[in-house]
Amino acid sequence: MTRVVAQGTFDILHPGHVHYLREAAAMGEELYVIVARAENVDHKEAPICPGAQRRDVVAALEMVDDARLGDEADIFAPIEALRPDVIALGHDQHHDPEAIERELGERGIDCAVRRASGREPRHPDEMLSTRLIVERVLERRS
């Protein structure tokens, strides 16, 4: 059975997240999602929603077999525990696939790293970015 791991912040779930997780699920038979802890998010604004809430919302999606919070100290610890066959990266995630593969090799994990595709909005008002959703809320509520 092919085990896939996807990961992300998943702050305000939107259609782009759903697209990414559907593609990740299609890469195998089991999909595990690692939801980043707020203290590990250093490449963008910190998440608005608490980690447990973000995990629970992701876990409720039909394509997700299990969702868990990431490790506080070592982002690779959940991957070591899960031993996936595939790590599915989002199309716009900042991760370097080669660096991930090197770290996996150093930890003795034989795992492919693949990148999911992006998708375009289906209508002019559709937002595929948490940042855009937050900006719209601020604009309309300010």
9 is in an annotated binding site: yes
**16-36: b (≥16 Cβ within 10 Å) or e:** bbebbbebbbebbebbbbbbb
Task: Report whether 51 contacts 38 (CB < 8 A).
Answer: yes
Task: Report whether 107 contacts 81 (CB < 8 A).
Answer: no
95 is in an annotated binding site: no
54 backbone dihedrals φ, ψ, rounded to 5°: -60, -40
15 is in an annotated binding site: yes
The CA angle 135-35-66, to the nearest 5 degrees, is 130
Q: Which of 59, 15, 2 minimizes the C-alpha distance to 33?
A: 59
76 is in an annotated binding site: no
Binding residues for ATP: 9-10, 14-17, 92
